[in-house]
Amino acid sequence: MRVHHLNCGSFHPRGMPEVVCHVLLCETADGVVLVDSGLGRHDIADPKRMGPARFVMRPNRDDARTAIGQIEARGFAASDVQHIVLTHMDFDHIGGLADFPEATVHTTADEYDWAVVNPDFTARRRYSLKPLSHGPRIQTHAGPGEQWRYGLRGIEVLPGITYLPMPGHTKGHAAVAVESPDRDLLVHAGDAAFDVTSYSPTLPSGTSVSKSRSLRAIETFAAVDRKQVIANHTTLRRLNEEAGVTVFTAHDKRILDDLLGS
């Protein structure tokens, strides 16, 4: 499996540093797999799809930044993307789904139930389901999973790709562990943490960084269970301390830049 780190959507909230949408592009023997999809071409064409949050987050509407734009630039076609594994279903993670109509979309059963099947008042206000209007194939994954590694439970999504349930940001949020040939294990924490210093004093390269109060403020505002968010930080900290494990979040640009070597 060959893994690429992409930024599939940038936000520029006033008075805050740039916020990215960190997406993984995994080249497998059975086709391309994405972990999250960032913003899509439909979002660029019609920003209303992103809901009122766009006025606060101020997205950069750049087609070249979309997952489909970057995939095409690498010589792939939309039809090459066979699976999209979601950490959760907020608009900045599912916006690109419609650009890959043939892909199977994976999510946890708890997330799909809260966002789509039985949404309560909070879910109806939170989620924009327009990225699902093309009727994608949805595969849900239920339960806490089987005993995995490092004392955690996991749900195998695809060979080499495992859900690690971490509710808190949303009711069905999960981190995604990807076995990578150049780094033993990549853990896409999604929004289980926003600021890298929530679980590590350094970036993956070992460079020290300071706390991002703005990212932590966004995290607190968006969480449905703040106590669980703190518990997730502890889990991510323990994972990140394991040899051969690299943990990163969806929105901290410093981590993405570090992994890209920029």
Per-residue pLDDT of the chain (262 residues; tens, 9 = 90+): 899 999 999 998 888 889 999 999 999 988 999 999 999 999 988 888 877 777 677 788 888 999 999 999 999 999 999 999 999 999 999 999 999 999 999 999 999 999 999 999 999 999 999 999 999 999 999 999 999 999 999 999 999 999 999 999 999 999 999 998 776 899 999 999 999 999 999 999 999 999 999 999 999 999 999 999 999 999 999 999 999 999 999 999 999 999 999 6
Tell me which residue has tokens 């909230």: 13
What residues does 25 pair with on adjacent strands? 4, 34
Amino acid at 132: L
Domains for the chain: give ranges and CATH numbers: 2-260 (3.60.15.10)
pLDDT digits (tens, 9 = 90+) for 135-161: 999 999 999 999 999 999 999 999 999
The tokens describing 230, both together, are 């703190």
Is 189 in a helix, a strand, or coil? coil
Distance CA 26, CA 85 (A): 11
- List 138's β-bridge partners, or say none: 105
**pLDDT for 173-191, tens place per residue?**
999 999 987 768 999 999 9
Q: 78 is written with which tokens? A: 């939309």
From 179, 13, 16, 172, select the one nearest 93 (Cα to Cα). Answer: 172
Sheet holding 2-11, edge to edge: 2-11, 19-28, 31-35, 81-85, 104-108, 137-141
Q: CA-to-CA distance for 15 and 18, rounded, in angstroms?
A: 10
pTM: 0.96
Could you list the beta-strand ranges (E) of the chain: 2-11, 19-28, 31-35, 81-85, 104-108, 137-141, 146-147, 153-158, 161-165, 174-179, 185-188, 245-248
Sign of the alpha-carbon torsion through 160, 81, 49, 60: positive
Length, in residues, of the chain: 262
* pLDDT tens string 67-97: 999 999 999 999 999 999 999 999 999 999 9
> Which pLDDT score, from 0 to 100, does residue 262 have?
61
Question: Nearest Cα to 105, choosing from 118, 96, 115?
Answer: 96
CA distances 212 to 81, 165, 219, 253, Å, are: 34, 25, 11, 11
